[in-house]
A = this chain, B = another copy of it.
C-alpha cells in the first residue's frame, strides 16, 4: 500500500512517543492513573537569535485534545507489542474510553512570551496528562517557531507587506499549512499556499513562475499571453536578464501592476527596474522581491534604499532557518497524592525546573510598554496582567477560541508593548522574567525536603 503518512482525527491516540504509553500503563497498573496532576509546557531558553517569541498553535492543540482517542486497530497494536506483555488487560479496555477530560489553561495565541513562561498548563488524571505530551510539544513548537520568525521579518519590512512563499520548503505538506497559519498570525499579509488560504480565510497570493516564461520561445510573448488571462498580474522578470525582462513586460502590452525579482543583486536590480518603470511613466507599478530573503537581508535592502514594495519570504521563514527548533518541554509540576497536593520538579544539571502550577503576571508602564513578567504560583494574585487563561474545563471549551483575526490583532498590540531594543534583530539584554517570592520560597523548601 502506498502510504500518505497524513495524521487524521481517528488515529490520534498513538500520535505520541511510546514511553508516554508505557508510563500510562504503569500509572494504571499501580493504581495511580486517575490521580490528578498538573503539567506545564514552556521553552527552557530563547534561541540565541531571538529576543522574544510569539505564542502560536493553541487552536491545533485544542483540536487534538478534543479528538484524542484510541481506535481498535491502535489498541490491538499495543496489545501485540512485546513490551506490553505484562500490562493488565483492564488497561487496554480503559484506552477504549479514554478522552481528554481535564482542564487546560493557556497563554492566548499572538501573545509575546519568554523563556520559562508556561504557554500551557494541563491538569488531568496523570495518565491522560502524560499521553498528550508529545503532540502538545510538537504543535506549540512549530507554530511558535514560525510566528516568532515571522514577527521579525514583518518588523524588518517596516510596514511593507510580507507574503509567506515557503510551503515548498516546509517540513512536509502539513508543516506548510501550519507555517502559513503561524506566519499570517504574526503579521504576514497572505500566503502562496492555496489550501492554507482557503482553510484560514487569509489572502492567497502568487501569479507566475519561471516555468511560464520558459514555456514560450520569447519572454515578451510570455508576458502578453499571461496578461490576456490575468490582467493586473505580477510579472516575473528575472528568467533571463532582469532589466531586459522589465522592458519586455512594458513592451508586451500586458496590464500588470507589479514586477517580481527572484534572483541576482536585489538592490541594484530593484533600482534599475524602478528607473525603467518610472521612465515609462509607470510609477504605480510595484516591485516585489523574493529569493532566499530573511529579516537581515530585508533590513539591509531597505537601509540601502532599495525601492521594494512587497517581500515574499519562503525557506528562511517556514524553517526558521537560523534556529529551526525551540527548547520546548512539558513537565510534571504538581500532583494530587494521598497526602494532598505536592510540587514536583527535576534537579538534573542544567535542566532544573520549578515545581507547582504557575501563572505569569505581566507588568506594563503608563505608556503600555511591558516592564517585566513575574512567574508565580497559580494560586497567587500579583500585580500585572495574568497571561494564562482558562481554555478547556473537563475537556470542554470554556468559550469559543479566538479567531485568527483576533490573534493577528493581539500580535499588533503586543509588539507595541516591546521595548525598541527587543525589536531589533540583534540580541538584546534579556527582558526581565523573575520568580515570585512565594514560588521561590516554596521551591526552595521542596528542594531542602528532597535533599534531607
Contact = CB atoms under 8 A, between A and B. Distances in A.
- Please indicate which of the listed interface residues A3, A29, A328 has the most CB atoms of chain B within 10 Å of its own CB: A3
Contact of A32 (B169, B194, B215): B215
B63 A211 contact: no
Given A4-B67, A11-B195, A194-B18, A212 B26 contact: yes
Contacts of A18: 192-194, 197, 204-207
A126 interface: yes
A6 B7 contact: yes
A142 to B, nearest CB: 5
A14 interface: yes
Contact of A208 (B14, B22, B86): B22
Contact of A7 (B19, B81, B177, B211): B177
A107 interface: no
Nearest to A23: B212
A148 to B, nearest CB: 14
Interface stretch (A271-279, A345-353, A410-418): A345-353
Interface string A129-161: 010011101110110010000000000000000
B60 A3 contact: yes
B169 A138 contact: yes
Interface in A258-294: 262-264
A208 B37 contact: no
Interface in A153-211: 165, 167-179, 181, 192-200, 204-211
Nearest to A292: B327
A215 B67 contact: no
Contacts of A175: 138, 142, 171-172, 174-175
A211 B17 contact: no
Given A15-B195, A225-B30, A264-B348, A6 B9 contact: yes
A81 B133 CA distance: 40
Nearest to A355: B214
Given A17-B165, A177-B7, A214 B346 contact: yes
Contacts of A2: 59, 62-63, 66, 397, 401
Interface string A85-100: 0110000000000000
Interface stretch (A112-120, A228-236, A436-444): A228-236
A118 B62 CA distance: 41
Contacts of A181: 5
- Please indicate which of the listed interface residues A27, A178, A198 has the most CB atoms of chain B within 10 Å of its own CB: A198
A196 B2 CA distance: 14
A246 interface: no
A226 interface: yes
- Please indicate which of the listed interface residues A9, A230, A332, A401 has the most CB atoms of chain B within 10 Å of its own CB: A230
A51 to B, nearest CB: 21
Given A141-B168, A172-B139, A230-B83, A263 B348 contact: yes
A254 to B, nearest CB: 11
B215 A60 contact: no
B87 A229 contact: yes
Contact of A3 (B59, B126, B173, B208): B59
Interface stretch (A237-245, A358-366, A381-389): A237-245
A331 interface: yes
A48 interface: no
Given A139-B173, A145-B171, A321-B325, 17 more contacts: A3-B60, A14-B195, A17-B165, A17-B192, A18-B197, A26-B212, A86-B230, A126-B215, A134-B193, A138-B167, A138-B172, A169-B328, A172-B175, A214-B344, A215-B332, A264-B348, A264-B350
Interface of A: 2-9, 11, 14-23, 25-27, 29-30, 32, 37, 39, 59-60, 62-64, 66-67, 74, 77-78, 81, 83, 86-87, 126, 130, 133-135, 137-139, 141-142, 145, 165, 167-179, 181, 192-200, 204-212, 214-215, 217, 225-226, 228-231, 233, 238-242, 262-264, 315, 319-321, 324-325, 328, 331-332, 335, 342, 344-351, 397, 401, 450
